[in-house]
């Protein structure tokens, strides 16, 4: 992006925010990250449904306070100067999303865009009040280059992952994709095209899993086409994943939740194994057990011998489970707002 384009975009994003002296740290810590991400990519997601008054003089560039405009110019100059000295590393690239709603969800308009479904927000700037009184937040998603594994006659990768060699360095970030029969997964995430498990899922949707490691084994080398690793029609693929525990169970501050929510203990599966070929759907061979304690009631779950399903309402891939409990019957409750009585049957577990 050219310097004047960066200046215009930052003026539009930051010029009409009502910033006070207490927000000074934003200019030193957060806004530079935003500026660097826009310099390398102007792809930013902003609220789709704008109000007519946003086209009024209230939001004109001429109404930006002079002191704020000067800070924007300094930010642009410093960002461009740093980029000329040292190119932005791939690990420092971000994609920005501006939202004017407090909750992140793909099911809420002007919240999380579809391309960010399942992705982790690296940093959130705000909330900051605009000149019209509305609060906005800017979510920054770290962009990581992943290795793509493709099935034949499909332009979308069936797997996206980070892998390591013996040097333990990721084979991403500008390096050429390596052809091999075995890939050791780096700590991070793996993305699986949802229709690999079920034809119910859209062919453009992906399910993301956090992993601490794992392995992808092929029966024969894939064919390198450009930077695509394409599987042969008869190539078998074995995927073994060491799943990371959910963040909710890693000592998250209880102040983020209500009293009952803070008491929930969830031990998610730590192992998933499945196989497929260059033309076939995936078959799950291993999904480790999981446990849940909620409202004082304990549940244990094991894999159900049934194919995964896709929920269009939830926009989620669901792995069927068997529960050792057939009812939800709260035994302990702390919330003073509502009282749960009686019990209800469990129809499904996933």
Average pLDDT over residues 290-313: 91
Tokens at 278, concatenated: 């260059």
Higher pLDDT, 235 or 20: 235
- For tokens 């642009």, the residue is 76
Tokens at 348, concatenated: 């499904």
**How far, in Å, are 209, 240, 241, 265, 288 from residue 151 at the CA level?**
20, 18, 20, 39, 27
What is the tens place of the pLDDT at every residue in 221-259? 998 887 788 999 899 999 999 998 876 555 444 556 678
Of 286, 302, 152, 330, nearest in space to 229 by CA: 152
End-to-end, the C-alpha distance of the chain in Å comes to: 45
- For tokens 């983020």, the residue is 256
The pLDDT, as a whole number, for residue 56 is 67
Residue 276, helix vs strand vs coil: strand
- Four-residue CA torsion sign, 137, 138, 144, 146: positive
DSSP-assigned letter for residue 53: G
- pLDDT reading at 9 higher than 60: yes
Q: How confident is the model at residue 298 (pLDDT cuts 50, 70, 90)?
A: very high
Q: How confident is the model at residue 290 (pLDDT cuts 50, 70, 90)?
A: very high
What is the tens place of the pLDDT at every residue in 89-140? 545 678 888 888 888 887 787 888 877 777 788 888 878 888 778 888 888 8
- pLDDT reading at 197 higher than 80: yes
Tell me how far apart the alpha carbons of residues 277 and 158 are, in angstroms, rounded to a whole number: 11
CA angle 167, 208, 49 (to 5 degrees): 125
**H or E stretch including 67?**
helix 66-85
Residue 192, helix vs strand vs coil: strand
The pLDDT, as a whole number, for residue 50 is 67
Of 105, 99, 93, nearest in space to 128 by CA: 99
**How far, in Å, are 82, 85, 95, 207, 301 from residue 194 at the CA level?**
40, 42, 23, 6, 22
- Four-residue CA torsion sign, 241, 254, 326, 348: negative
Q: Report the predicted TM-score, pTM, of the whole model to 2 decimal places.
A: 0.75
- pLDDT reading at 52 higher than 70: no
What length is written for the chain?
350
Q: Give Cα 91 to chain centroid, integer Å.
A: 15
Of 133, 131, 121, 156, nearest in space to 45 by CA: 121
- 212 near 242, Cβ under 8 Å? yes
- pLDDT reading at 28 higher than 60: yes
Tell me how far apart the alpha carbons of residues 276 and 219 are, in angstroms, rounded to a whole number: 11
Higher pLDDT, 5 or 334: 334
The pLDDT, as a whole number, for residue 159 is 93
């Amino acid at each position: 992006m050219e310097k004047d384009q960066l200046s215009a975009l930052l003026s539009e994003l930051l010029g009409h925010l009502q910033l006070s002296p207490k927000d000074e740290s934003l200019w030193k810590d957060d806004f530079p990250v935003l500026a660097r991400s826009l310099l390398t990519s102007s792809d930013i997601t902003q609220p789709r449904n704008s109000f007519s008054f946003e086209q009024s003089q209230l939001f004109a560039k001429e109404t930006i306070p002079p002191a704020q405009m000067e800070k924007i110019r300094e930010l642009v100059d410093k960002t461009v100067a740093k980029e000329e000295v040292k190119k932005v590393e791939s690990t420092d690239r971000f994609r920005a999303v501006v939202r004017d709603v407090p909750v992140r969800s793909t099911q809420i308009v002007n919240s999380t865009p579809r391309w960010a479904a399942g992705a982790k927000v690296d940093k959130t700037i705000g909330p900051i009040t605009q000149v019209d009184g509305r609060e906005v937040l800017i979510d920054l998603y770290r962009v990581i280059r992943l290795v793509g594994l493709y099935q034949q006659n499909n332009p979308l990768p069936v797997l996206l992952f980070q892998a390591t060699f013996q040097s333990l360095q990721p084979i991403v970030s500008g390096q050429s994709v390596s052809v091999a029969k075995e890939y050791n997964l780096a700590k991070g995430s793996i993305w699986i095209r949802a229709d690999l498990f079920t034809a119910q899922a859209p062919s453009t949707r992906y399910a993301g899993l956090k992993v601490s490691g794992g392995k992808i084994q092929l029966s024969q080398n894939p064919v390198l086409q450009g930077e695509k690793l394409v599987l042969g029609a008869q190539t078998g693929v074995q995927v073994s994943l060491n799943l990371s525990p959910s963040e909710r169970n890693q000592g998250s501050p209880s102040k983020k939740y209500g009293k009952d929510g803070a008491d929930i203990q969830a031990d998610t599966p730590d192992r998933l194994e499945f196989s497929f070929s260059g033309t076939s759907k995936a078959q799950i061979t291993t999904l480790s057990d999981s446990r849940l304690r909620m409202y004082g009631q304990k549940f244990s779950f094991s894999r159900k011998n049934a194919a995964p399903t896709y929920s269009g309402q939830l926009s989620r891939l669901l792995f069927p489970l068997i529960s050792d409990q057939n009812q939800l019957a709260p035994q302990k409750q702390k919330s003073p707002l509502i009282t749960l009585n009686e019990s209800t049957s469990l129809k499904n577990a996933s």
